[in-house]
Every structure is written in C-alpha cells, then in structure tokens.
Structure 1
C-alpha cells in the first residue's frame, strides 16, 4: 500500500513513486531517505527525484528484475 511521501522513514529501503508528465511511475530500485536527500540504496548515489508516495521495498522486487 502506498503512503504519502511526508511519512517516509529514514535509513531503510523504500520503493518510491514519482509523477512525470502527469503519469505516476514506480522507481525500479530501492531508495533510502537521508538528511541529504534520496539515495539509491544499491549504490549510495544521490537520486534527483521528487517522489510523491512510498512503500516498503520487498526483497522479491530486486529478484524479479534479474
């Protein structure tokens, strides 16, 4: 279940949703909220996104991308 981005927790793997050109999209990699912003949980790089919603990242999400 998607939750409002204002309630996103810090330092845990989350799946983010963003809206591009009026269409919602799910990011296909886990992200972590940090004091500096959002980072890709797989490589630690900051991600330039403005997410609108989040949900828990499930381990099976990573496995299904392989």
Structure 2
C-alpha cells in the first residue's frame, strides 16, 4: 500500500513513485531516504527526484 512521501522512513529500502513527463510510475530500483533527498540503495548514488509516494521495497533483496 502506498504511503505519502512525508512519512517515508530513513534506513530502509523503499519503492518510490514519481510523476514525470510520461505520468506516474514506480522506480525499478530500491531507494533510501537521506538527509536532503534520496539515493539509489544499490549504487549509493544521490538521486535528483521528487517522489510523491513510497512503500516497502519488495524486490530482489538488493540494498
């Protein structure tokens, strides 16, 4: 179940939903909330995104 982005926890792999020019969709990799933003949980790369919702990552266990 999707949660509002303001309630996203730190230190957990999350699936994020974003809205871009193609409409709303979920990112295909796990993300983590960090101070002042988000990072790709697998690569540790900082992301320039503005997600709208989150839910627990249920992917392949990466991160």
The count of aligned residue pairs is 61
Structure in which a larger fraction of residues adopt strand = 2
Provide TM-score, normalisation by structure 2. Answer: 0.88
Structure in which a larger fraction of residues adopt helix = 1
Equivalent position of 2:17 in the other structure:
17
**Quick check: which has more Rg, 1 or 2?**
1
Equivalent position of 2:40 in the other structure:
40
Q: Any stretches of 5+ residues in structure 1 without a counterpart? A: none
Q: Any stretches of 5+ residues in structure 2 without a counterpart? A: none
Equivalent position of 1:51 in the other structure:
51
Distance in 1, matches of 2:36 and 2:20, equals 22
1:27 and 2:27 aligned: yes
Could you list the structure 1 runs, at least 4 aligned residues long, displaced by more than 2 angstroms after superposition: none
1:6 and 2:2 aligned: no
Aligned CA-pair RMSD: 1.4
Provide TM-score, normalisation by structure 1. Answer: 0.84
